[in-house]
Amino acid sequence: MKVINIPATEDTPKVVLDHENKIFEISGRSLPEDVVVFYQPVMEWLDNFENTPIPNMELAIKLEYFNTASSKLILDILLKLEEIYQDGTPLKVIWYFLSSDTDMKEAGEEYSEIVGLPFEITEY
């Protein structure tokens, strides 16, 4: 599978989706000008991943901030992972938050209640 490695900018998160090395991470700030265009490669990658899953995938989400438009796309990513999980591929999401950032902790808790995925919420 093609590796996605998008470097972080002031307004977009770092995204690494590397099937071979089992690195799956979204980190930084997510407020891209066109959130659908930014996250489209991620959704396409997940469509391909669904056809060639690896067991025990762990997606690390380490967002410092995300805007409302990004929240919808993050949910779409999680819902896609839920489909893959329900099809029998063991995976989980690890939602990281700074200990002082209760908003980000609560966001992770809300997502974990919406999707039927193993979800770990942890400080970093």
Per-residue pLDDT of the chain (124 residues; tens, 9 = 90+): 899 999 999 999 999 999 999 999 999 999 999 999 999 999 999 999 988 888 889 999 999 999 999 999 999 999 999 999 999 999 999 999 999 999 999 999 999 999 999 999 999 8
**For residues 74-87, b (16+ Cβ closer than 10 Å) or e, as one string?**
beebbebbbebbee
pLDDT, residue 83, reads 95
Please, are residues 14 and 26 in contact by the beta-carbon 8 Å criterion? yes
pLDDT, residue 102, reads 96
- HSE value, Cβ hemisphere, 13 Å, CA-based, for 49: 31
pTM exceeds 0.75: yes
What are the residue ranges of helices labelled H in the chain? 35-51, 68-86, 102-114
How many degrees, rounded to 5, is the angle at CA 13 between CA 10 and CA 19? 150
Cα–Cα distance, 56 to 90 (Å, whole number): 5
- Sequence letter at residue 119: F
Q: Which domain holds residue 33?
A: 4-123
Please, are residues 84 and 91 in contact by the beta-carbon 8 Å criterion? yes
Provide the number of structural domains found in the chain: 1
